[in-house]
């Protein structure tokens, strides 16, 4: 096969994958851009309260007790609790109880593998409550029955599971990620300029019109965002199939916790769990403490390790013994989630936001090019830089 025939084959694959899956890919990208800044957008519609009391913070166990009383008064007794200590001055302590997460109530939400489902990405089909408390006085500053406004919850469900159950929707999202990788790689080959054309390969010429304008806009946008686009697409595939791709070691299930022996003693609170975790990880700064609903499940203390939220300490809720330290932050594949979600830094976060917008541009310019070729009876496998394009051709 000659290179010209090989290039035409790639063009055919690139075109039909884009035309057939374009709308789905655009929806996936736009929802991804939206949830990159989900909390900032949510705060515009519902500004979270700020703590005002100065002084020494209360022990987290006292905050935990206050939150339980508030939940009980609102008819929510029991259930899993997540405590998120403040990270900046004037931030409240955020406590989430029950089945509450940015994903909202997902179809088919249940318990997997005997372990409790996590709030992050787990959905949950029951009731939940989010409570904001002053870390110094313990005053209840406000409550919410959802983590995010409904349109942002919809975006999370669309991007995570395509509005389906996790078991059905997550593989679909994974295959769409594969399609994005195919489009990116074939697009790079199709973009590769001929000798003497490199100076035109990274821009849209001012005099470009019609078919040439859409071709150059499509190509220039693709090459400028290529590396970010491929990183986001590849990491999305890894997240969709963590066991298959090696993101999780064999036999490791982050949702499945070791069982502990239930005892007739009082269970430890959040403060004691953090102290126990710090004996195993001396520099640990807790980001989230998960108090399970089940009496035979450990308390989880999540923390940042090497700049990534991929570390947990599992603590026996009766003895305070550290059962396990899960720190995957030094594994390459463990970085896929912060890469995908824009969690590396502010610049990367903005680039991830932009990468979610470009599939829509690719779909629009791709459809326009396809329609113009049909109108002018140009063979679909003929690349637009191989034909003479009129600058004053009319729009389709």
Could you report the per-residue pLDDT of 14-24, keeping only the tens digit for each?
999 999 999 99
Tens digit of each residue's pLDDT (9 = 90 or more) over 306-351: 666 668 999 999 999 999 998 877 777 778 888 999 988 899 999 9
| Token output for 256 | 């499945």
Alpha-carbon span 384 to 376, nearest angstrom: 12
Chain centroid, CA 388 distance in Å: 44
Tens digit of each residue's pLDDT (9 = 90 or more) over 165-195: 888 999 999 999 999 999 999 999 999 998 8
More confident of the two residues 117 and 282: 282
Tens digit of each residue's pLDDT (9 = 90 or more) over 94-119: 999 987 778 776 555 444 333 333 43
Alpha helices (H) along 192-307 = 210-224, 226-240, 242-245, 270-280
Q: Looking at the domain assignment, is residue 137 inside a domain?
A: no
Q: Looking at the domain assignment, is residue 274 inside a domain?
A: no
Q: Looking at the domain assignment, is residue 42 inside a domain?
A: no
Alpha-carbon span 192 to 375, nearest angstrom: 26
Residues spanned by the domain of 371:
3-37+162-245+344-386
Q: Looking at the domain assignment, is residue 103 inside a domain?
A: no
Q: Looking at the domain assignment, is residue 120 inside a domain?
A: no
| Token output for 340 | 């995908």
Q: Looking at the domain assignment, is residue 380 inside a domain?
A: yes
Average pLDDT over residues 125-129: 68
| Token output for 139 | 């005053």
Total domain count for the chain? 1
- Residue 233's pLDDT is 96
- The DSSP 8-state label assigned to residue 55 in this structure reads S
| Token output for 155 | 């975006």
Tens digit of each residue's pLDDT (9 = 90 or more) over 69-102: 999 998 887 789 999 999 888 899 999 998 777 8
Q: Looking at the domain assignment, is residue 140 inside a domain?
A: no
Contact indicator for 327, 305 with CB cutoff of 8 Å: yes
Q: Looking at the domain assignment, is residue 109 inside a domain?
A: no
| Token output for 29 | 């990208």
């Amino acid at each position: 096969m000659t290179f010209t025939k090989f290039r035409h084959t790639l063009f055919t694959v690139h075109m039909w994958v884009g035309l057939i899956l374009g709308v789905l890919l655009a929806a996936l990208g736009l929802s991804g851009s939206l949830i990159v800044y989900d909390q900032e957008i949510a705060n515009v519609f519902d500004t979270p309260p700020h703590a005002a009391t100065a002084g020494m913070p209360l022990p987290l166990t006292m905050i935990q007790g206050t939150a339980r009383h508030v939940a009980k008064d609102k008819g929510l007794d029991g259930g899993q609790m997540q405590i998120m200590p403040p990270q900046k001055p004037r931030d409240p302590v955020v406590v989430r109880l029950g089945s509450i997460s940015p994903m909202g109530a997902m179809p088919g939400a249940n318990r997997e593998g005997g372990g409790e489902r996590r709030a992050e990405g787990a959905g949950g089909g029951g009731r939940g409550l989010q409570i904001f408390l002053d870390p110094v006085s313990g005053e209840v500053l406000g409550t919410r029955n959802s983590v995010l406004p409904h349109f942002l919850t919809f975006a999370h469900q669309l991007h995570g599971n395509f509005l389906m159950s996790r078991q059905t929707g997550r593989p679909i999202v994974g295959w769409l990620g594969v399609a994005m990788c195919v489009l990116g790689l074939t697009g790079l080959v199709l973009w590769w300029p001929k000798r003497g054309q490199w100076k035109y390969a990274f821009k849209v010429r001012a005099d470009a019109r019609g078919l040439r304008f859409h071709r150059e806009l499509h190509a220039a946008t693709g090459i400028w965002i290529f590396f970010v686009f491929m990183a986001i697409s590849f990491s999305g595939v890894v997240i969709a199939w963590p066991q298959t791709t090696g993101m999780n070691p064999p036999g490791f299930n982050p949702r499945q916790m070791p069982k502990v022996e239930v005892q007739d003693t009082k269970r430890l609170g959040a403060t004691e769990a953090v102290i126990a975790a710090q004996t195993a990880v001396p520099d640990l700064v807790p980001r989230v403490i998960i108090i399970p609903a089940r009496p035979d499940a450990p308390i989880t203390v999540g923390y940042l390790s090497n700049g990534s939220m991929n570390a947990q300490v599992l603590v026996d809720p009766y003895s305070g013994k550290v059962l396990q330290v899960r720190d995957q932050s030094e594994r390459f594949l463990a970085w896929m989630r912060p890469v995908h979600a824009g969690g590396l830094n502010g610049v990367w976060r903005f680039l991830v936001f932009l990468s979610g917008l470009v599939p829509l541009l690719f779909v629009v310019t791709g459809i326009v090019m396809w329609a113009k070729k049909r109108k002018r009876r140009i063979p679909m496998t003929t690349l637009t830089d191989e034909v003479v394009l009129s600058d004053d051709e009319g729009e389709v």
